[in-house]
Every structure is written in C-alpha cells, then in structure tokens.
C-alpha cells in the first residue's frame, strides 16, 4: 500500500499541478460529477436489521461476525464485499444508557481486523482501536456499561494501515442509544418507519461490479467514489408513511465530504449531532458532514409528494479550488428518493426544547495544540503504535486547539469522549457544531478550540486515538495516541501484545 500511496501523492503534486494548462483545464472540468436527476431510484432502501441483543446475565449480549460475501448492488453481477453478520454493513445495535453491553466479535476474514466503537465512552481495552487486533479465526469480547446521552454511534474496523480498505469493503454498522431524555421527547422513533438510519457511502465499481480499491489519482484524500449507496442500496427509494420523517445520517464515506439538502431546497430541522440531541431544533437547508460525522434530522412531508435527498457542492470552506474540485467537493449527487404515501399518519410537532447540554466551562487542566499537515502528520509526527503522545488526567477538562495547516481539508476525531467546540477562530460555533461532537471538519487555517472531559476509565499503558477521519490520511499516519491517567499515575508503555495489531 505504501508504494501505491507514495505514487498517488507524487501524482497529485507533480502530475495534476504540472499538467499542461489545456490538459489541466480539461481535467478540472471533467472531474466535476453531477448525477442530479440521473439516478434511477428503482431499489427499495435496505434498512439494516435491528438487533437489541440477547438479555442474559443482566447484560445485553451482541454477536458480530466479520465475514466476506457477495452483495447485489448495481445491475448485473453481485459485488464481492465484507460485512458483519451478513455480506455488507452490519446490524443496527440498540441499547439504553445504563445497560451493560457484552460483545462477542469473531473474525472470519483472512486478515487481522478490529472493531472500534466510534463515539462511545468506554475503557481503552474495549475501544477496538488498532491495539485490539483480532486475528483471522480469532474473537474478542469487550464489555462496558453505556453512560452517555441518547444518540447514534457507529462501529467499524480500525487496523492500522488497513482501515480504509476494511471500511470500504463494507465493514460498518450503527449503534442507537436511548435514554430517559430521548424517551421523554415526542420524536419519531419507530425504527425503519419514521426513524430511518442512512449510512451514506461513495464507492467506485469496475466493469464487473467489483469495488475499485485504488485511490482516485487526482485526489488528496484517497478514494472519491462516483456512485453513492445508502445502507448498501444503489439508487434507493424510501416509502414514507408519516407526516414527519426522521433521518439519522452517517457520512460513511472514506473521504468524501457531503453537503446534504433536498432537491426543492426545503427546510428541515437538525435535532442531533454526533454525540446527542441538540438543545433545540436547528432550522436549516443544509447538513454538512465530513466522513464519520452524523446528523439527526426531521423533515416534513406532504401526502403523495416525492422529494430527493442529495449532496450539493460544498460552499466556501476555505479549501483551495483545485483541491476542492479534485476531492469531490464541487459534485452534486443524488442520494435517496423519498416517496410519501397518499395518506400520511400524523406525527407530533418536534419539541422546541430537546436536551440540556451543560457547557464544559471548567478551567482546563491542560491546553494542547494539534497541527495537522500533509497527508500523515499531527504536530510533525506520524502514528507510531508504540508512542504515547501524552496523558490526560482523569476527572479533568482539557482544551485542545486543533488547526488544519493545509490548503486542503482534514477532520479531527477523538476516541473515548464527546467534545464541545468552544470556538472557531474565537467565534461561537454554528448550531450544528454546538452540541456533542466526536468528529469535526477542519476548514484550513482556523483554530478549533475543543473541550472535553476525561472520566471513569484510566489506563496508563493502553492508548486511545485521535486522528483525521479521512481514512487514507489516518492509515498513512495522521493519528496520535493518548492515555487517561488515574490519580498519581504517569504515562506508561504500550504493552507488547497490544502493539501486535500492526500487520500492515
């Protein structure tokens, strides 16, 4: 992979930027993709099976089997894919705050993988990052107690150097968490009926419908897919039966930033972000999601109408126009057609007040700065499985200032915690970024001040990750490691066994 990657990088530098002007102009023009009105929408949207676990021994027990298979996606041949408990994606796991979760994860693949619980607050040895490797034929049994607000998280592999490929082949799934707050709100909640998860992913298919796995040669972020699939369905339509439809959207792409909107530019309400409900619904026409970010939205429907969810060109976010174009940010892509039935069941008004969010205003115990640069570095270093970059003290709030120093784009994700965006270049964040977040898009050359509290789980030796969630950058090393320290503890050493996850 390294060799191909290096070639890709130099192609970008020396190839695209040094193309003869006419060739470059042609490439620039022809790279923009527009599928508006061209997607057939003739496949019913697949909804991942809901799995509430087996209640045994006072815990919710889940089984996840990573396996290879074939999935019919585009017309013609089936596509070789990977999935959990099936051939593509995995079940939607559902649990409540306070539940004890127990997992049995088995790896039926021919290579080492891991299963990371993205956005979950959990002990480091249950995180499923690169140190919790599961060998072929092996299994892994993490368990923890859910203690975080109602939201939608997701799970996906995290084997260092191979995350992009494993996720791209289809290994990903959702986790819905409920709590007393979400139960007390009159929100659409019938799974697959008026509360519908959307795992939106871009993919490239070759002439035999196999997934093309090589990085897009013009991009600086790895694979930019020309086709969009939702929950594994190509050209999906959803038949709505209610006046209000809640869509929980995950940008599950490896690299593509998506700017969700409806084709008639109607307004909708964003009610939640990565880590929970917002304090109040945010009325908007756009939801910008970089890879791994989620938006919980509610849209009103009229009987008998048809409306299309699409991804519009990304508005000005300070990314250089060449990088924007070659990373798909000028594209317009149809995502999902919603067909409202002639008679729609009534849905309650969305409540004006949602969750309480106490702001993390404690005096930070530590301030840290993170500078993302190139394809592979944070503060000048690339990921090293054996290097712990720092230790955070348990029961303290830290303030991290994160800056993308490039002309192109990155995002930033932190394991174990949900953070608050305290400010962006000194200004209060816009409403979609004002709730709990675990991943934030980084416009170039702006300071994102993030605040987070570390609590409960400590381990001086076993690290959590922070990284760019553009998987090509993450695999290439744009990732660091931290530990959470108990009272009186000091940063330790990554255990030997743990480091064996690195089978590049």
Q: 464 near 413, Cβ under 8 Å? A: no
By a kind-dependent CB cut-off of 5 to 8 A, residue 292 interacts, out of Cu ion, ligand C2O, none, with ligand C2O
Task: Using the minimum distance from each CB to ligand C2O, give the nearer residue, 409 or 415.
Answer: 415
Asked if residue 483 binds Cu ion (CB under 5 A), the reply is no
Cβ 91 to ligand C2O shortest distance, Å: 18
* Residue 101 interacts with Cu ion (CB under 5 A): yes or no: no
* Alpha carbons within 13 A on the beta-carbon side of 495: 12
Which secondary structure element, helix H or strand E, spans residue 498, and what is its range? helix 496-499
* Residue where the block lists tokens 């409900």: 277
**Binding residue (CB under 6 A) for ligand C2O from 118, 243, 248, 324:** 118
For 364, the token pair is 């930070």
CB neighbours of residue 110 within 10 Å: 8
Q: Which is nearer to Cu ion, 79 or 377 (CB)?
A: 377
Which of 473, 479, 485, 501 binds Cu ion (CB under 5 A)? It is: 473
Residue from 465, 470, 494, 498 binding ligand C2O (CB under 6 A): 465
Q: Which is nearer to ligand C2O, 172 or 224 (CB)?
A: 172
What angle (nearest 5°) sits at the alpha carbon of residue 416, between those of residues 116 and 53?
50
Over the window 385 to 424, marking each residue x when it contacts ligand C2O by CB under 6 A and - when it does not, the resulting string is: ----------------------------x-x---------
Q: Is 158 in the site for ligand C2O (CB under 6 A)?
A: yes
Stretch that binds Cu ion, among 59-67, 137-145, 323-331, 415-423 (CB under 5 A): 415-423
Asked if 116 touches ligand C2O (CB under 6 A), the answer is: yes
* Residue 72 to residues 46, 88, 91, 208, 242, Cα–Cα distance (Å): 12, 10, 18, 12, 29
Tell me: does residue 152 bind ligand C2O (CB under 6 A): no
Assign 373 to helix, strand or coil. strand
Relative to beta strand 143-145, strand 100-107 is antiparallel
Q: CA 196 to CA 203: how far, in whole Å?
A: 21
Q: Using the rule CB under 6 A, is 372 a contact of ligand C2O?
A: no
In the complex with Cu ion, the residue whose CB is nearer, 60 or 473, is 473
420-424/447-454 β-pairing: antiparallel
CA angle 245, 247, 252 (to 5 degrees): 165
Please state the closest distance from residue 156 (CB atom) to ligand C2O, in A.
6
- Closest C-alpha to 31, from 324, 310, 282, 374: 324
Among 106, 243, 294, 410, binds Cu ion (CB under 5 A): 410
| Under 8 Å between Cβ of 250 and 234 | no
Closer CB to ligand C2O, 146 or 312, in the complex: 146
Instruction: Report in angstroms how near the CB of residue 469 gets to ligand C2O at its nearest.
Output: 6
CA-to-CA distance for 46 and 192, rounded, in angstroms?
Answer: 9
199 is a site residue for ligand C2O (CB under 6 A): no
Contact partner at residue 410 from ligand C2O, Cu ion, none, CB < 5 to 8 Å by partner kind: Cu ion
In whole angstroms, the minimum distance from the beta carbon of 58 to ligand C2O comes to 29
Q: Which residue has the tokens 């923890």?
A: 144
Stretch that binds Cu ion, among 246-254, 263-271, 347-355, 411-419 (CB under 5 A): 411-419
Looking at residue 13, the DSSP 8-state letter turns out to be: I
Residue numbers 279-338 binding ligand C2O by CB under 6 A: 292
* Exposed e or buried b per residue across 86-108, where buried means at least 16 C-beta atoms within 10 angstroms of its C-beta: bbbbbbbbbbbbebebbbebbbe
Distance separating alpha carbons of residues 151 and 176, to the nearest angstrom: 6
Q: Which of 243, 324, 451, 467 binds ligand C2O (CB under 6 A)?
A: 467
Tokens read off for 278: 């917002």
Can you point out the beta strands (E) in 33-99?
43-44, 50-51, 54-56, 59-71, 79-84, 92-96
Interacting span for Cu ion (CB under 5 A) from 72-80, 241-249, 317-325, 407-415: 407-415
Contact stretch for ligand C2O (CB under 6 A) within 34-42, 46-54, 347-355, 465-473: 465-473
Residues that bind Cu ion (CB under 5 A): 118, 410, 415, 468, 470, 473
* Residues in contact with ligand C2O by the rule CB under 6 A: 116, 118, 156, 158, 292, 413, 415, 465, 467, 469
């Amino acid at each position: 992979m390294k060799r191909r990657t290096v070639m890709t990088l130099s192609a970008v530098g020396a190839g695209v930027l040094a193309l003869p002007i006419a060739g470059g102009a042609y490439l620039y023009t022809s790279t923009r993709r527009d599928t508006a009105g061209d997607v057939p929408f003739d496949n019913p949207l697949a909804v991942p099976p809901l799995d509430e676990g087996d209640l045994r021994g006072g815990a919710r027990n889940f089984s996840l089997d990573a396996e290879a298979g074939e999935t019919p996606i585009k017309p013609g041949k089936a596509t070789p894919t990977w999935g959990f408990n099936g051939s593509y994606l995995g079940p939607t796991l559902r649990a409540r705050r306070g539940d004890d979760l127990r997992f049995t994860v088995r790896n039926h693949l021919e290579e080492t993988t891991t299963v990371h619980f993205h956005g979950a607050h959990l002990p480091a040895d249950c995180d499923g990052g690169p140190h919790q490797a599961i060998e072929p034929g092996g299994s892994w049994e993490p368990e923890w107690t859910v203690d975080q607000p109602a939201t939608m998280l997701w799970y996906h592999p995290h084997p260092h150097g191979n995350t992009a490929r494993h996720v791209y082949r289809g290994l990903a799934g959702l986790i819905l968490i409920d709590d007393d707050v979400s139960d007390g709100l009159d929100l659409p909640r019938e799974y697959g009926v008026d509360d519908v998860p959307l795992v939106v992913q871009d993919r490239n298919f070759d002439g035999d419908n196999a997934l093309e796995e090589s990085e897009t040669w013009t991009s600086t972020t790895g694979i930019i897919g020309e086709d969009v699939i939702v929950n594994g369905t190509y050209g999906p339509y959803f038949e709505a039966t209610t006046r209000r439809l809640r869509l929980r959207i995950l940008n599950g792409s490896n690299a593509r930033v998506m700017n969700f909107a409806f084709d008639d530019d109607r307004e909708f309400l964003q009610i939640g972000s990565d880590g929970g409900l917002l304090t109040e619904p945010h009325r908007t026409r756009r939801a910008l999601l970089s890879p791994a970010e989620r938006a919980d939205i509610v849209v009103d429907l009229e009987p008998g109408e048809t409306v299309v969810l699409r991804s519009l060109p990304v508005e000005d976010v300070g990314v250089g126009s060449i990088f924007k174009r070659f990373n798909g940010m000028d594209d317009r892509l149809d995502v999902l057609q919603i067909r409202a039935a002639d008679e729609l069941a009534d849905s309650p008004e969305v409540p004006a007040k949602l969750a309480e969010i106490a702001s993390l205003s404690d005096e930070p115990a530590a301030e840290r700065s993170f500078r993302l640069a190139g394809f592979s570095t944070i503060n000048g270093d690339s990921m090293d499985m054996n290097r712990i970059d720092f230790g955070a003290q348990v029961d303290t709030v830290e303030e991290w200032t994160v800056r993308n120093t490039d002309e192109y784009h990155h995002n930033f994700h932190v394991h174990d915690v949900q953070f608050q965006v305290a400010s962006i270049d000194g200004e209060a964040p816009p409403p979609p970024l004002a709730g709990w977040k675990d991943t934030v898009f980084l416009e170039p050359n702006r300071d994102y001040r993030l605040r987070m509290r570390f609590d409960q789980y400590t381990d001086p030796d076993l690290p959590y990750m922070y990284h760019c969630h553009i998987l090509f950058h993450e695999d290439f090393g744009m990732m660091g490691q931290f530990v959470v320290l108990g009272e009186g503890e000091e940063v330790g050493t990554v255990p030997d066994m743990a480091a064996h996850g690195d089978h590049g």
